[in-house]
Amino acid sequence: MLKVSGLACSRGERRLFTDVGFSLETGEWLHVQGSNGAGKTSLMRLLVGLSPADAGEINWRGEPTPSLEFRRDLIYLGHHAAVKEDLTPLENLRLAAALDGIAVDERAALAALIRLGLRGREDLPVRVLSAGQKRRVLLARLLTRPAVLWVLDEAFNALDVGAVQLLGELIAEHLAAGGMAILTSHQPLPVPGGKALVL
Amino acid sequence: MNALLATVRRDILLALRRKSEVLTAVFFFVIVTSLFPLGIGPEPALLKKIAPGILWVAALLATLLGLPRLFAADHVDGTLEQMALSPSPLGLLVAGKILAHWLLCGLPLVLLAPVLGLQFDLDASALGILTLALLLGTPLLSLIGAIGAALTLGVRGGGVLLALLVLPLYIPALIFGAGAVEAHIAGLDIGGHLSLLAAMLVLAAFFAPWATTAALRVALE
């Protein structure tokens, strides 16, 4: 489904990586590893189509990306909070879905927030939540937005032990349902199997 | 289309949670236009002559005041990235943001203009023309301004750069907008002025979201 070959990226004068290639099929996940500054985030941004590659090809379902189909199948959660501080978790979740052209009713959004352990916080402005809770609000999008490919950049940061376990379960469920995931993390991840890519 | 409306709803909701940002621009418009009659004194003939220019320049500057925030907050917190990767076309979401900007920063100016125009001894028909010209002109200001806001996104000292970039592009709107009211006061035909303003608005409505989108994609790289 996802086929990447000969990918190269440089920042200014510095070559970050060259000739990166891998392929992912349904139910598989890729763990991107590397020291700080190795280019993990650059690789992720390149894969989702936020920045152009110096060289190489990315094909999704046999078609070069970025295509509309790819964006429909993709969910990317990066370093940023990507939630609005002045809105409540519930509003954040439903408006983010609405911008993607998906209608999420209040009940579905609430169920996602409860699964992420935010029961009782759904009507507070995100501003007053802790860093880990903000992260959970963002992660709730994984449940409300149907997507095949999850690209999660350092998604395990700021999460407590329980939430790390929970995210591991969510990813495992997603893979079992025929999804795919690309993750970066410095910690060992609580998800079985997986290919490794070291930059 | 739903995505466009969702963007408008989102931006208006955000503005309502943080009212000061919107009110700043509106109060600026009110204060600046009120300072001139106070400073110049009771000279109806002179006030009437300078009214269109003053009101239009104040509207230009008030619009400019809200522009740096148009994309900045979404850029910093990463929601702009999510918009760029959304299955909805980014151009549509950007058009929604521009529309919300006009509803919040442009429409209040249009509605206030007839009241503020009274200070300049404009008669009812001149006030009507002024409002009509602003109704056609302020969306144009938002559309052109959005291109500038996207181009200066993430640039240090972007606010000043934005003013230098956008204000020259506002000149045609200023000339024809203020010109319409001046022509009406002088008893001339205003059809030409308003038609040109409307033509520029149509052109900008078509091209500005597209140009803004292209600039945003570069800013996100």
**One-character DSSP codes across chain B:** -HHHHHHHHHHHHHHHHTHHHHHHHHHHHHHHHHHHHHHH-S-HHHHHHHHHHHHHHHHHHHHHHHTTHHHHHHHHTTHHHHHHHSSS-HHHHHHHHHHHHIIIIIHHHHHHHHHHHGGGT--HHHHHHHHHHHHHHHHHHHHHHHHHHHHTTT-TTHHHHHHHHHHHHHHHHHHHHHHHHHHHHTT---HHHHHHHHHHHHHHHHHHHHHHHHHHHHHH-
Dihedral sign from CA coordinates of B13, B17, B19, B22: negative
The pLDDT value given to residue A101:
86
pLDDT of residue B115: 94
pLDDT of residue B173 exceeding 90, the answer is yes
Q: Which residues in B lie closer than 8 A to residue A71 (C-beta atoms)? A: 85-87
Domain boundaries, given as residue ranges, for chain A: 2-198
CB pairs under 8 A between A and B: 78
* pLDDT for the residue numbered A79: 83
pLDDT tens-place string over residues B25-40: 999 999 999 999 999 8
pLDDT at B41: 85
- Give the separation between CA A42 and CA A17, rounded to whole angstroms: 10
**Residue B169, min C-alpha distance to chain A (Å):** 30
Q: Do B153 and B146 contact (CB within 8 A), yes or no?
A: no
| Mean pLDDT computed over A28-34 | 89
Confidence of residue A14 (pLDDT cuts 50, 70, 90): confident
Find out whether B192 and B175 touch, Cβ atoms under 8 Å: no
A99/B17 Cβ within 8 A = no
Predicted local confidence at residue A196, as pLDDT: 82
Q: Which helix (H) or strand (E) covers residue A32, if one does?
A: strand A29-33
Please state the rounded mean pLDDT for residues B192-213.
94
- Residues of B within 8 A of A85 (CB-CB) are 77
The whole-number pLDDT of residue A16 equals 85
- pLDDT grade, residue A189 (50/70/90)? confident
| Model confidence at B1: pLDDT above 80 | no
**Nearest CA-CA distance, residue B97 and chain A, Å:** 11
- Residues B32-61 have a mean pLDDT of 91
- pLDDT given at position B138: 95
Q: If you average pLDDT over every residue of chain A, what do you get?
A: 87
The greatest distance separating any two alpha carbons of chain B, rounded to the nearest whole angstrom, comes to 58
- Residue B137: pLDDT band with limits 50, 70, 90: very high
**What tens digit of pLDDT does each residue of B88-119 get?**
899 999 999 999 999 999 999 999 999 999 99
Of the candidates A68, A74, A101, the beta carbon closest to that of B3 is on A101
Q: What is the pLDDT of residues B180-197, one digit of tens each?
A: 999 998 889 899 999 999
Report the pLDDT value the prediction gives residue B210, as an integer from 0 to 100: 95
Which residue, among A147, A140, A131, has the nearest Cα to A48 in the 3D structure?
A147
Q: Is B6 on the interface with A (CB under 8 A)?
A: yes
Distance from CA of B12 to the nearest CA of A (A): 12
Question: Do A5 and A21 meet the contact criterion of CB atoms below 8 Å apart?
Answer: yes
Residues contacting B15, CB < 8 A, separation 6+ = B21, B22, B100, B104
Query: B150 or A101: which carries more pLDDT confidence?
Result: B150
Q: What percent of chain A has pLDDT over 70?
A: 100
Task: Say yes or no: A158 contacts chain B, CB-CB below 8 A.
Answer: no
Q: Sort out which chain A residues have CB atoms less than 8 A from B82's CB and list them.
A: 76, 82, 96, 99
For A100, the closest of B17, B86, B221 (CB atoms) is B86
pLDDT tens by residue, A69-92 = 888 899 999 888 888 989 999 999
pLDDT of residue B34: 93
Characterize the bridge pairing of strands A14-24 and A29-33. unpaired
> Does the pLDDT of residue A158 top 90, yes or no?
no
Q: Do A82 and B82 touch (CB under 8 A)?
A: yes
For A2-198, CATH gives: 3.40.50.300
pLDDT range class, residue A54, cuts 50, 70, 90: confident
Chain A positions touching B84 (Cβ under 8 A) are: 50
- Gap from A194 CA to chain B (nearest CA, Å): 25
Residue A165 and residue A121 in contact, taking contact as beta carbons nearer than 8 Å: no
ipTM of the complex, rounded to two decimals: 0.89
Q: Taking each helix axis from N to C terminus, what angle separates B191-220 and B69-76, rounded to the nearest 10 degrees?
A: 20
pLDDT given for residue B33 in this prediction: 94
* Calpha distance B4→B158 (Å, rounded): 27
